Structure 1
């Protein structure tokens, strides 16, 4: 099954690299956004299976956006250049399906969180 993904991250280079990597690993990146507000709107419009959501956005905290992304029907995987341990319980408390550091992003890492 090819999961449809929206990437929400304020760094254009990361969005492009993540999209390329995920497309090579049999995901379908259907859109990307650079702010939380535009990410929510895009997810409402495109109804992806998954949102890859950066923790640190210019207009919002990714942890706080998880419920809005879930409301679009998408699973949410948080990401950051920092390690998961830096956030303590915030990942679990947010309700996200999981967290992957940007340096460890892979299709298999995402799939393992969604099982």
Structure 2
């Protein structure tokens, strides 16, 4: 099954690299946004299977957006250049399906969180 993904990250280079990597691993990247508000709106409109959501966005924290993303029907995978250990229990307390550091992003890592 080809999972539909929206990428929400304030770094254009990361969005482009992640989209390219995920496309090679049989994901359909249907959209991307550089802000949390833009990501929520895009997810409402496109109803992706998964939102790859950066923790640090210019208009807020990815932790605070998980609920709004879930309302669109999407699973949420948080990402950051930092380690999951840097966030303590926040990753799990916010209700996201999981966390993948940007350096460890792969399609298989996403799929393993959704099983």
- Asked whether the two chains share a fold, i.e. TM above 0.5, the reply is yes
Matched, 1:81 2:81: yes
**Equivalent position SS for 1:109:** helix
**Equivalent position SS for 1:51:** strand
Deviant stretches of 4+, over 6 Å: none
Aligned length: 115
Gapped regions of structure 2 (runs ≥ 5): none
2:29 corresponds to: 29
2:113 and 2:49 map into 1 onto residues whose CA distance is 13
Q: What CA deviation, in whole Å up to 9, does each residue of 1:1-47 have, x standing for no partner?
A: 00000000000000000000000000000000000000000000000
Gapped regions of structure 1 (runs ≥ 5): none
1:88 and 1:104 map into 2 onto residues whose CA distance is 19
Give the TM-score normalised by the residue count of structure 2. 1.00
Give the TM-score normalised by the residue count of structure 1. 1.00
2:90 corresponds to: 90
> What is the aligned-residue RMSD (CA, Å)?
0.2
